[in-house]
Amino acid sequence: MLNFELNGVFPFARTKGGKTDLDTRNEIRSKTEQDLKNINRIYKEFAFTIRVWKCGNRLVDLDNVTKPILDSFAIKQWNKDGHPNPDLGLYLDDGLDNVVEVHLYGERSDDIK
């Protein structure tokens, strides 16, 4: 099982500060690259559990959180992005043939966890 924590919320189509979806994917990849090097790649199917903690009043659309995470680990997207290490991708594409389950939940908190 691969388990990691991303400090920050990375929604799809995040444009604040001139960010692009490619910037978001590369940021997620850089935060998980060491974990990706240590995973056994014999699995055909993957499942994700994504938990989001949010402080403050700003709205976070949970449905926009999954897209960049799933794209960030798809080999096809790594190749399209021109990433130098596509062999670190977990699965060919982010479709149902490879990503069979996604658990997504969130909560508001006064403390960052």
pLDDT score, position 61 = 76
- C-alpha to C-alpha distance for 12 and 77, rounded to whole angstroms: 14
Whether residue 15 is contained in a domain is answered as no
Contact 72, 28 (CB under 8 A): yes
- Domain carrying residue 100: 21-108
pLDDT score, position 104 = 86
pLDDT score, position 81 = 94
Q: Which of 49, 54, 60 is CA-nearest to residue 107?
A: 54
Query: For residue 51, what is the DSSP state?
Result: E
Give the side-chain half-sphere CA count within 13 A for 76: 8
Residue type, 35: D
Task: Specify the DSSP element, H or E, that contains 48.
Answer: strand 46-54
Whether residue 35 is contained in a domain is answered as yes
Whether residue 16 is contained in a domain is answered as no
Q: Quick one: 71 exposed, middle or buried, by C-beta within 10 A (0-12, 13-18, 19+)?
A: buried
User: pTM of the entire structure?
Assistant: 0.76
pLDDT score, position 48 = 85
Mean pLDDT by groups of 10 residues along the chain of 113 residues: 65 70 86 81 79 75 83 92 88 90 82 57
pLDDT score, position 15 = 66
How many domains does the chain contain in total?
A: 1
Whether residue 1 is contained in a domain is answered as no
Whether residue 76 is contained in a domain is answered as yes
- C-alpha to C-alpha distance for 54 and 111, rounded to whole angstroms: 9
Whether residue 3 is contained in a domain is answered as no
Whether residue 70 is contained in a domain is answered as yes
Whether residue 8 is contained in a domain is answered as no
Q: Token pair 């926009």 is at which residue?
A: 64
